[in-house]
Structure 1
Amino acid sequence: MDTAPHQGRIWPTVASIPVSAVTDKPPGHLGPVRTEDVAGAVGTGRDTTGGRDTTGGRDTAGGAGAATGVGTAGARPRGARANPADELGFSGDPEQRGDPGDDMLHAQRVWDASLAANRLDAAGVADERQRVATADVTASVSLIVDGRPEDVRASIESVLEHTEAHVLALDLGDVDGAGEVLHELALRHPKRITEWRVAEAPHWRGGSATWGACRAKLLRLDTSEVHVLMETSVVLTGDALTPLVAAVADGAVAAGWHGLERPPDGQEAPGAGLERQLIGAGWHEAGPGRVRALRGDLMAVRRSAAIGALPEDARDGENADLELSMALKGELVVPSDRLPVRRLHEPEAPQE
């Protein structure tokens, strides 16, 4: 990605930034979208990171079904004693010796080896499998910069530290000097950060730049297969992107940090922009597994699917992530393993 023409220049408005990228190219390294199970079913137990089957057993080889040796933490061979060597005066310590032909000692050693393999898996083998599986999938993290310069610094630096993703950042009006912080980081990391800066202030700070226009512009400026929406109030404490990208590569249309489920039937009524009105009327946190909607604070989506689904008329972004989620055709998921992410500030309580 050639970043030189963009770094440091200040455009008058978001709309004035030219888009030269091809925005409709097919995803080269992504599997097909799972459309037979459209988002909306919750509680299926699907584990998008290859960690858990529908029965609650752990299958670290990436599939669901019967437990098979290494992927069976906590399971015992049928009929095995907790410590068969103890009956012969041995603790099971590998340094202690007994009859090498004794079946009980052999079973204990096999069990010990299985436990060691489980510990190895817990140490990161499953994560490494995901990294290898997504190595060829291109992903970019998109950020709207609209103030709180220290948050901007912390958020961007966390992406640089814990991932290999490219950062696409759009600054609106250099609010409180946040644009200068972005520019400083872009100069220090020109191969990792592409910045666009505009004089137009954000709509939610009294200006004219809307959330929908900004997100749509970043989406079209991106050339990656997976587009990650992220807020500058969020920081990564580890590689939180690989599980999200892996879920998308595996067939989900989008994957996110937080999922939402719709209100019970009967609470909804038809109407444009409905989802923006419903967040206080029964929508609740959901996941892991398949969910009806995803929060936009950290959300990975197939870029080709997001074009046309993103609500470009959204003004301040409130519940626009719901509209995006409900317009996407395919499976939306929250990974089963807790993602290494934290929020810098607690969200403000809604006004009464």
Structure 2
Amino acid sequence: MSEAARQAWPTVRSIPVSAVTDAKPPGRLRPARLEQVAGSSGTGRDTTGGGTATGVGTAGAKPSAGSASSAGSASSGTHARANPAAELGFSGDPGQHGDAGDGMLHAQRAWDATLATNRLDNLGVNAERQRLVIKDVTAAVGLLVDGWPADVRACVQSVIDHTDVSVLALDLGNLDGAGDVLDDLAARYPDRVAVWRVAERPHWRGGTATWGESRAKLLRLDESDVHVLMETSIVLRGDGLTPLVAAVAEGAVAAGWRGVDPADGREAGPGRVPALTGDLMAVRRSAALSALPEDANYGRNADLELSLGLRGELVVPQGALPVERLGTHDVQADYRERESQRNYDGVLRMLSAS
């Protein structure tokens, strides 16, 4: 590759943005829901706005004590029943369809329909539905590259192999030759990988490029409807992005691999969650532009601050996504603790204000 092709911008700030990419709302996404509990990446049958979604993860459970299948046994005690069909409004005659207004009968029919629908989900119908939902939705993965070249190669290659989305990579200082790996990938997949190189090193590795400014630059360089924040320590073992992008297209403001309750740090989800981690998160790009904490030096807990700044539903899809973490990228311990606490103080201020 020529020296001109490898030329780097001096700083993240100096990278030009050729157009104002947030001037118009994303026309391919449904309006963000502010009140309802988001349907998961499952069947989308949860329209109640609360409670547990009737999705892939719950449809196989047994009916509760108040359901049709348990009501009959509760009313008859321990004795054998001569005509159990009568308890559901049937006479026992095969041609008799029962009382259409009977609540227990309606519940049983709904339960049977749910099971049948989920059998179709298991056959891949739901995956096909998701692909149709995002057919006209544009999405791109944004990566901050700060070393660990082997992980960078595995991460980008997994996106290429398992999805159709593009990769926007910001190389900070070509640490450990990670920028050279990006150059190779961009040469092999010119229609899928775009790279911006800066001489500035990342703040968390002794430089001046901050997480917030770098992430904001990637958002402004992107022109997609949905922007995917992804860490280079994450790899896909299958299409782990379609469920996230589909959830956003259907009304969530963001969807992620992992949810968390910032009040106590515990994992949250699946379903609606208070916050999402930024290791793998799909977000409406137009919404992220105004919510991203651009003054954050370091990403840990700044991703939670981003989540809390978004107006709308944050969701974790039902079912395990084919996603794997390669390992934790270690940084200087005292820096990590200092910056993490500074970011978390911002999270606590947002929680107290809400």
- Whether the TM-score (by the shorter chain) exceeds 0.5 is yes
Name the aligned partner's letter for residue 283 of structure 1.
Answer: G
CA distance in 2, matches of 1:22, 1:333: 29
Name the aligned partner's letter for residue 9 of structure 2.
Answer: W
Following superposition, the deviation at residue 202 of structure 1 comes to: 0.7
Q: Partner of 1:18 in structure 2?
A: 16
> Contact 1:201–1:209 (CA<8 Å) still a contact in 2?
yes
4+ aligned runs moved over 4 Å, structure 1: 51-60, 71-75, 114-120, 346-352
Q: Does 2:9 align with 1:34?
A: no
State the Cα deviation string for residues 9-34 of structure 1 (Å, max 9, x = none): 31111111100132222101001111
Using a 3 Å threshold, how does the CA distance of structure 1 residues 125 and 73 change in structure 2: closer, same or farther?
farther
Q: Partner of 1:148 in structure 2?
A: 148
Correspondence list, 1:73-222, <5 A: 119-222=119-222
Using a 3 Å threshold, how does the CA distance of structure 1 residues 213 and 188 change in structure 2: closer, same or farther?
same
State the Cα deviation string for residues 180-226 of structure 1 (Å, max 9, x = none): 00010001100000100111111111111111111010000000000
Equivalent residue in structure 1 for 2:308, among 326, 331, 350 = 326
Q: Partner of 1:313 in structure 2?
A: 295
CA distance in 2, matches of 1:183, 1:131: 30
State the Cα deviation string for residues 111-147 of structure 1 (Å, max 9, x = none): xxx9898555313111111001111000000000110
> Contact 1:174–1:180 (CA<8 Å) still a contact in 2?
yes
Following superposition, the deviation at residue 308 of structure 1 comes to: 1.7
CA distance in 1, matches of 2:177, 2:330: 23
State the Cα deviation string for residues 134-178 of structure 1 (Å, max 9, x = none): 110000000001100000000000000110001000001100000
Deviates more, 1:51-60 or 1:200-209: 51-60
**Which consecutive residues of structure 2, in runs of 5 or more, have no partner in the other structure?**
71-93, 96-113, 338-354
Using a 3 Å threshold, how does the CA distance of structure 1 residues 262 and 72 change in structure 2: closer, same or farther?
closer
Q: Partner of 1:50 in structure 2?
A: 43
**Secondary structure at 1:214 match in 2:** helix
Deviates more, 1:341-350 or 1:151-160: 341-350
Correspondence list, 1:187-336, <5 A: 187-263=187-263, 282-336=264-318
CA distance in 2, matches of 1:162, 1:184: 19
State the Cα deviation string for residues 41-60 of structure 1 (Å, max 9, x = none): xxx69534326647768557
> Contact 2:45–2:53 (CA<8 Å) still a contact in 1?
yes
Q: Partner of 2:350 in structure 1?
A: none
Which structure dedicates a bigger proportion of its chain to helix? Answer: 2
Q: What is the TM-score when the length of structure 1 is the normalising length?
A: 0.73
Using a 3 Å threshold, how does the CA distance of structure 1 residues 179 and 36 change in structure 2: closer, same or farther?
same
> Contact 1:7–1:195 (CA<8 Å) still a contact in 2?
no
> Contact 1:21–1:223 (CA<8 Å) still a contact in 2?
no
Using a 3 Å threshold, how does the CA distance of structure 1 residues 233 and 145 change in structure 2: closer, same or farther?
same
CA distance in 1, matches of 2:53, 2:290: 39
Higher relative contact order (Cα pairs below 8 Å, separated by 6+ residues): 1
Using a 3 Å threshold, how does the CA distance of structure 1 residues 291 and 58 change in structure 2: closer, same or farther?
closer
Following superposition, the deviation at residue 8 of structure 1 comes to: 3.6
CA distance in 2, matches of 1:30, 1:132: 13
> Contact 1:34–1:251 (CA<8 Å) still a contact in 2?
yes
CA distance in 2, matches of 1:153, 1:122: 32
Name the aligned partner's letter for residue 234 of structure 1.
Answer: I
**Secondary structure at 2:245 match in 1:** helix
Deviates more, 1:152-161 or 1:15-24: 15-24
Using a 3 Å threshold, how does the CA distance of structure 1 residues 45 and 320 change in structure 2: closer, same or farther?
closer
* Count of aligned positions: 285
**Secondary structure at 1:11 match in 2:** coil
**Secondary structure at 2:25 match in 1:** coil
> Contact 2:55–2:318 (CA<8 Å) still a contact in 1?
no
Q: Partner of 1:337 in structure 2?
A: 319
> Contact 1:59–1:72 (CA<8 Å) still a contact in 2?
no
CA distance in 1, matches of 2:52, 2:15: 50
Deviates more, 1:49-58 or 1:164-173: 49-58
**Secondary structure at 2:123 match in 1:** helix
> Contact 1:261–1:285 (CA<8 Å) still a contact in 2?
yes
Using a 3 Å threshold, how does the CA distance of structure 1 residues 299 and 7 change in structure 2: closer, same or farther?
farther
CA distance in 1, matches of 2:309, 2:115: 45
Q: Partner of 2:99 in structure 1?
A: none
CA distance in 2, matches of 1:347, 1:147: 9
> Contact 1:234–1:297 (CA<8 Å) still a contact in 2?
yes
